Structure 1
Amino acid sequence: MPRTAAAPDWEPPEAEVEPTYRPVQINRADGSWAVGRINAWWHPSGDSRTWCRVKAMGRGEASTWMPFDPEHLLLLPTTGT
C-alpha cells in the first residue's frame, strides 16, 4: 500500500517512529488553513523524505501520515517571548 494520506490505516514500524508535539498550520487542498499538530516523525532509511503524523483540530479528523512539506505544513512556535 502506498504511503500517502489516502491510506489512513497505514503505519510505519513503531520502533522507527519518534513521538513529538509540534503545533502547525495546515494548508488544505482547497486553499483553506486549519490548526493542527504533528504528533510523530518518521525518517525511513533509503528515503530522502521525512514523514509526519498530522492531526487537524476541531473537525474530528483522524491523524494521518504524510510527507513533511513546508508549503502545506507551517510549523508554529512552541515557545515565545
Structure 2
Amino acid sequence: MATRCGLLTWDCPPPEAEVRWVYQPVEVQYPDGTWEVGRISAWWTDDAGDLWCRLRTPSGGARPQWTRYDPEAVQLLPSTGI
C-alpha cells in the first residue's frame, strides 16, 4: 500500500504516529500448506481501511516485512497465559 514516499517497504514505513507497536506471536501458513511460527511487532491501518502487520518469521530474512494482514494465513497466538 502507498505511504507518503510510495509503496510500503522497510525503507518507507507508514507514518510513525499511525503505527501501533505490539508483541504478538503468530503462526503463518504458506501456500504450500506448511506452517511457521513468527511474530507481529506492529499494526497499521491504511487510508482504505486495510490492516497491515509488521511480520517476522525465522525463514523470512533478517528484517520484518510489512504485509497486508490475512487472518486465514496468519493465526494469532496467545501472548500471555494459557
Shorter-chain TM-score above 0.5: yes
Distance 2:31 2:69 in 1: 15
**CA, structure 1 residues 14+35, in 2 after alignment: closer, same or farther (shift >3 Å)?**
same
Can you give the 5+ residue segments of structure 1 that lack an aligned partner in the other structure?
none
CA RMSD after TM alignment = 1.9
Identity of aligned residues (%): 43
Matched residue SS, 1:29: coil
Letter in 1 for 2:42: A
Number of matched residues? 76
TM-score (norm 1): 0.78
Q: 1:15 aligns with which of 14, 17, 29?
A: 17
Any unmatched runs of 5+ in structure 2? 1-5
Q: Pick closer, same or farther for the CA change 1:60–1:71 going to 2, 3 Å.
A: closer
Deviation at 1:42, TM superposition (A): 0.4
Runs of 4+ in 1 over 3 A off after TM superposition: 7-10
| Letter in structure 1 aligned against 2:49 | S
